[in-house]
Amino acid sequence: MRVLGIDPGSETTGWGVIDGDRRRYTLVEYGSIKTNANEKFATRLLKICDAIEELIVRFKPDSCALEDGFLKTNVRVTLKLGQVRGVAMLAAARAALEIHEYAPRLIKQTVVGYGNAEKHQVQEMVRILLSLKAAPQPYDAADALAVAICHFHHAGLNERILATEARLKLSSSIATHRRTSR
């Protein structure tokens, strides 16, 4: 499975692509999409959308994992982040990718083991988990890789839960069938 992780930001949107099988994963590539704060916001959104679409064509991911929005004290910043997330989701949906969203605290808890981890801690754990020589730069790219890693852990868990539920449902229907056929 190949996952495109995205850390949305109006000035810098981090991205990272990871291949894996839910137990092991390896880095494909990472980077960031930078926009000019002096440009109109709609122009910046278009640049982010175009860049994500190019990443999808280039890397052909199976799914897209995004950091979920969180409420900042500045409402305008929160709204802008929501618009960037929307653009990223639109690009992924156009490519018919599965889209998964993860809360920042869950990502940090999954990757670092602590939901209030600092940026540098996330960066260092991403370096260790992906066996990199240096921590990914900028932080936005490290955060995007952390989102992708989080997806590998939780996608596997969700599949196991669904498989268990299916087995329980099957056993229940077999038991019901035996009772009614007697």
29, 68, 118, 140: the catalytic one is 140
Q: Rounded distance, CA 172 to CA 1, Å? A: 32
- Using CB atoms within 10 Å of the CB of residue 135, give its burial: 0 to 12 exposed, 13 to 18 middle, 19+ buried: middle
Which pLDDT does position 23 carry in this prediction?
73
Residue 7: active-site member: yes
Query: Where do we find the tokens 């009614």?
Result: 180
pLDDT truncated to tens, each residue of the chain (182 aa)?
Answer: 999 999 999 899 999 999 987 678 899 999 999 999 999 999 999 999 999 999 999 999 999 999 987 666 778 888 999 999 999 999 999 999 999 999 999 999 999 999 889 999 999 999 999 999 999 999 999 999 999 999 998 886 555 555 566 666 666 666 555 555 55
Catalytic residue from among 7, 98, 143, 159: 7
Domain boundaries, the chain: 2-181
> Of the listed 67, 68, 98, 143, which one is catalytic?
67
- pTM, rounded to two decimals: 0.85
As beta bridge partners, residue 33 has 13
Q: Please give the pLDDT value at position 86.
A: 96
Q: Are 102 and 111 in contact (CB under 8 A)?
A: no
pLDDT of residue 166: 61
Tokens (6 digits) for 41? 């916001």
User: What residues have CB less than 8 Å from 131, skipping those under 6 apart?
Assistant: none
Look at the domain 2-181 and name its fold: Nucleotidyltransferase; domain 5 (3.30.420)
CB 102 within 8 A of CB 150: yes
